[in-house]
Amino acid sequence: MKSAERARLQTAMIRFADGERAAFREVFDGLWPMCLALATRSLRERADAEDVAQRSILKVFDQIVDLDRRRDGVAWALTITAFEVLTLRKQRLRRREDDVDIDPIDAQPTPMDRLAERELYDHVRDVIGELSERDQHALQSMLLGETPRGEAARKRRFRAIERLRAAWRKAHG
């Protein structure tokens, strides 16, 4: 979006927030494609992206009367969309976890699942292998279900998990 268009949209948002009802269409037509584009870029499924964009545009209009005129209104609207994207991702993740807990029969692994699981273990092993010996030891004791003895061991385990997370993110995004 060009800066002139963005400035015009910002002005329209302020006008609408100030009570000029006629500015609604300009604000909606300016914000909707941006929210949809951000959601589409962030989510794989088109349907999810549309749901998120709709939720976020409704939220924007729900809060627009309290718009802070000194701040960038477009950035504020996009932040709401980004937050909705994150919320959907979290919900999906939680639902997956819940499904595993609730329905163990459906969770019987198929050969494809087993293959994927093995690949996952291999990746985890590779990443753990890149860590220092001390971290590897701490993680190993955790996987064996041992309780850490003392505050130092607990902290070491915590740091090892953090480093594992960072290494995983670096390797697999």
Partner 1 sequence: MVDVEALAGRAQRVAARSRVRMACRIAVVIVPLACLSLANGGQVGACACLGAALFAVAAYHRWRDRAGVDAVRTGLLLGAVPLVAALGLNACGMQCAPGWAITEAEVACFAAGAIAGIAASLLVARTPRDRRRRWVSTILVASLTAALGCVGLGAAGVLSTLVALVASASVVWIPVALRAS
CA distance 14 to 34: 18
Q: Which is nearer to partner 1, 11 or 54 (CB)?
A: 54
- Measured from the CB atom, the residue of 63 and 132 that comes closer to partner 1 is 63
- Judge whether 39 and 81 are in contact, CB under 8 Å: yes
Q: At closest approach, how far in Å is the CB of 7 from partner 1?
A: 19
Q: Other C-beta atoms within 10 Å of 88: how many?
A: 19
24/168 with CB nearer partner 1: 24
In the complex, the smallest distance separating the C-beta of residue 8 from partner 1, rounded to whole angstroms, is: 19
State the minimum distance, in angstroms, from the CB of residue 71 to partner 1.
16
User: What is the contact surface with partner 1 in residues (CB under 8 A)?
Assistant: 16-20, 24-25, 28, 32, 36, 50, 53-54, 57-58, 61-66
User: Which residues neighbour 81 within 8 Å (Cβ) at sequence distance 6 or greater?
Assistant: 34, 35, 38, 39, 52, 53, 56
Encoding tokens for residue 165? 């997370």
Alpha-carbon gap, residue 41 to 49, rounded angstroms: 8
Least distance in angstroms from the C-beta of 172 to partner 1: 33
- Which of 36, 120, 49, 117 lies closest to 89, judged by CA? 49
